[in-house]
Chains A and B, each alone.
Chain A
């Protein structure tokens, strides 16, 4: 599988739109096009294999299911994961002759994507640093009271940062990708320790993604119970995700009603006290 120049250019364009800070805006860019699942669909459309694209996207999405960027610190770059990692993983899968739907296929995709995503944080800091130049122009414009120029500074000039830090790296990596994959393939045999480790890492990495998410909602040991409950629903009872969400919704509603009951009780108590006075 080869990635043509046209395909690489299209991928580069989506990389510009999708990154955090991306030119597609946060909702459409970062949180839609930047999610590996959507990236998988887009890469699949561009490279002409939607099925593989989605399967690779799904595998990587688990690792990045809760990519929270508190205070602008990132542990992975979505443009690199979705528009460099996914195409390269697709190339690697076809080169190794692996099925993306298999466990090994998913593990290979995950290792590739995570490696690229972690290295890709360089792109994030690169973009943010170049943007400082445009902001400098912005401050000058404010001093001179040319406020309309702020639009250019905020929404126009950052395209240049993205050309340098999103477009060019994506095009180059996608064009070189096939050769690099070929190189890795000859250097590291599949039954060697290195490849076995790579695949095992691929199956372990999603745990980090889930754990990052749990960090947001688990504060003490009790908070693990809903998580384990959901785990049991799927693992032991074999309930699918959409149905599990409905069950979860039921519990959430019960919880809300109980919480509100105690809130109302408190309100009533306060009112009664006031009446007595």
Chain B
């Protein structure tokens, strides 16, 4: 008799992954336990025999870590593969399953980190920041609702895509259309982040030169803004990017460097926050 996973079991597996993929995180096993919890309902439904259960569960004790939102597609795919194995498919064994998992971990993490964490979340946060200007809770509520609907239904979609399509599911991600979507979304992200920086980041100099009569004849900030509004902010961001992307400095080192820059800048009068009680 053909074994077929019920929708209820698949949903239980998905929910276990959705909630539990990182709850028991450690540097050593990362998402492995989350994966085991996602596979358990499936294994329990597919196999009655304890030895078969053990064999199936042992497959998923192999290390797993990827970008968890997009990585849902991998969990869905293995659900489909496990079903095929329970039905006696010859070409599905531990090696196929773990080969697939290990092979997809890296690319999915790379795409997921830049697409979800590096683009979608910042865009949503950018819009939310705009809505929360002046201290209104509206933006925060907007982000909470939109992001969670996106994450839940997006991951659910990916899980079932993976389950139904198997290996074809990832073609969508790494194929030509996926590439075009990624490229366009990252362009959208770039523009929004530019607007976010101009709106929310303000690097300003207080450097002013006075003539003998005590009147200012050079207010550097004013002059710079005539050239390109917000140029100091843009320059500082690009320098930080250069240090991290090209010089491979860690964010913490760059932050420490900025402390030094700020200290020197205050000493020479380039920066002055003009504090008053």
Contacts and interface: CB of A to CB of B under 8 A. Distances in A.
A228 B137 contact: no
Contacts of B5: none
B184 to A, nearest CB: 4
Contacts of A148: 40
B62 interface: no
Given A62-B196, A65-B122, A217 B189 contact: yes
B40 A147 contact: yes
A244 B191 contact: yes
Contact of A245 (B34, B118, B126, B152): B126
Interface in B4-41: 16, 18-30, 33-34, 36-37, 40
A140 interface: no
Interface of A is mostly: helix
B237 A214 contact: yes
B273 A66 contact: no
B100 interface: no
Interface string A72-84: 1001100000000
A233 B229 CA distance: 11
A65 B126 contact: yes
Interface residues of B, number: 123
Contact of B140 (A40, A205, A211, A216): A40
A27 B251 contact: no
Interface string B256-275: 00110111011100011111
A74 to B, nearest CB: 10
B195 A234 contact: yes
Nearest to B264: A197
A168 interface: no
B160 to A, nearest CB: 17
Interface in A215-240: 215-218, 223-224, 226-236, 239-240
A70 B233 CA distance: 27
A94 to B, nearest CB: 14
28 contacts: A22-B22, A27-B155, A32-B148, A41-B141, A50-B135, A52-B135, A58-B139, A62-B196, A62-B200, A101-B134, A104-B274, A131-B24, A132-B26, A150-B40, A154-B24, A155-B20, A190-B275, A193-B263, A199-B273, A211-B254, A213-B118, A217-B190, A218-B245, A240-B199, A244-B191, A248-B187, A259-B179, A259-B183
A1 B29 CA distance: 43
A37 interface: yes
A131 B195 CA distance: 41
Contact of B37 (A151, A232, A233, A253): A151
A154 B33 CA distance: 6
Interface in B143-168: 143-144, 147-148, 151-152, 155
Contacts of B152: 27
A68 interface: yes
Interface of B: 16, 18-30, 33-34, 36-37, 40, 43-44, 50, 53-54, 57-58, 61, 65, 68-69, 109, 113-114, 117-119, 121-123, 125-137, 139-141, 143-144, 147-148, 151-152, 155, 176-177, 179-181, 183-204, 228-230, 233-234, 236-241, 243-245, 250-252, 254-255, 258-259, 261-263, 265-267, 271-277
Contacts of A213: 118, 122, 189, 193
Interface of A: 20-23, 25-28, 30-32, 35, 37-38, 40-41, 44, 50-52, 54-55, 57-58, 61-62, 65-72, 75-76, 96-97, 100-101, 103-104, 107, 114, 118, 125, 127-129, 131-132, 134-135, 138-139, 142, 145, 147-148, 150-151, 153-155, 157-158, 190-191, 193, 195-197, 199-201, 203-208, 210-218, 223-224, 226-236, 239-242, 244-245, 247-249, 251-253, 255-256, 259-260, 263, 266
